[in-house]
Amino acid sequence: MTPEQFCARIGIAHPIIQAPMGGFTPPELVAAVSNAGGLGSLGAPYFTPQQITDAAARIRELTRASFGINVFAGGYATENTIDPAPMLALLAEIHAELDLPPPSLPPLGKSPLKGKIDAVVAAKPAVFSFAFGIPERADIARVQASGSFVIGTATNVAEAKALNEAGVNAIAAQGGEAGAHRGTFIGRFEDSMMPVRELVSAIVQVTDLPVIAAGGLMTGADVADLIKRGAVAGQLGTAYLPCPESSAAPTHKDALMAARSDETRVTRAYSGRHARGIVTEIMRRLDPRPEIILPFPLQNDLTRPLRNAATKAGDARWLSLWAGQGVSRSRQMPAGKLTTVLIAELLAAR
């Protein structure tokens, strides 16, 4: 499939995708990108089914163009074998610094995937994408039958092959440069950190499905480069975080605009899953003690109160400053304008 065929298939003008980013991609951001000719994507991994329904309706008030909805398809621990006491004690020290009551262990819930897929089927977005695993084949088929184009996320060749067998329509290849969570669900995270250029080249050799490049892409020229390597589109997350429409905290946006490229690191401190962000005090305190970090989503729920407090206080020490390795090339402008700039750069470079 060529980039032009891919764009025609999902109903967009140019092969620029604003990455789904759970907690950071309100309808205003999604619609601005879609209205400018790219694909806006709603990151809904932390949404209830009702929130997905409401957000899709709001996006439709703002645009008639195609957009995507994204969820996590797995990665939720169903039991915890790690003693929570050392982590609770360590976080209690930070809570005290922030005048918060001591942390308590949240309950482990069930994977909320089924209800979310029901909401996606009803919302009928042009694109449904997922990370952290693969939904059941029947669920993929049911989303496709409702009219959505289905994209799964791979961080290595084995995952790309598994997605191919599961019947997805396209694969998002997430390179090691990417901001926030690693999608890895087969093999070890350490073995799944291939740079996006190598990963795209490797995946196009094992599948005929269209491949979308993600990770460290900040300009239209970056996307053009990946298209030359066989990708049909580029998916950009970090590039869209500083936009006024993104719901990244002002402190986060400031950190992105001030960052140098060597300031990001992969950590499990915030959520229990490997994710890339700008180095913070919480990473400095927790990363040396990986054995006490609880599994996703327990660790994520446990660090939420201090992250919320830090957001309110504008205190970057305890915030998750998610960012990919392209962060030093961040540009701050409205999302529609950024999309227009990216498209112009892409056209100039092809």
- Applying CB under 6 A, the residues found at the interface with ligand FMN are 19-22, 24, 43, 45, 70, 131, 153, 174, 177-180, 214-217, 235-239, 322, 324, 326
3-state secondary structure of 143: helix
Distances, alpha carbon 257 to alpha carbons 99, 240, 270, 326, 328, in Å: 29, 12, 22, 11, 7
The residue among 20 and 336 lying less far from ligand FMN, judged by its C-beta, is 20
Q: Which of 297, 284, 277 is nearest to 90 (CA)?
A: 284
The residue among 20 and 295 lying less far from ligand FMN, judged by its C-beta, is 20
Dihedral over Cα of 98, 99, 103, 106: its sign:
negative
Q: Is residue 243 a contact partner of residue 338, using CB atoms and an 8 Å limit?
A: yes
As measured in angstroms, the least distance from the Cβ of 275 to ligand FMN is 8
As measured in angstroms, the least distance from the Cβ of 256 to ligand FMN is 10
As measured in angstroms, the least distance from the Cβ of 87 to ligand FMN is 23
The residue among 29 and 87 lying less far from ligand FMN, judged by its C-beta, is 29
As measured in angstroms, the least distance from the Cβ of 183 to ligand FMN is 6
The type of residue at 307 is: R
The residue among 87 and 248 lying less far from ligand FMN, judged by its C-beta, is 248
Distance CA 227, CA 113 (A): 32
The β-bridge relationship of strands 275-278 and 264-267 is: antiparallel
As measured in angstroms, the least distance from the Cβ of 269 to ligand FMN is 15
- Token readout for 164 is 């191919």
As measured in angstroms, the least distance from the Cβ of 88 to ligand FMN is 26
The residue among 87 and 150 lying less far from ligand FMN, judged by its C-beta, is 150
The residue among 216 and 220 lying less far from ligand FMN, judged by its C-beta, is 216
Q: Is residue 111 a contact partner of residue 76, using CB atoms and an 8 Å limit?
A: yes
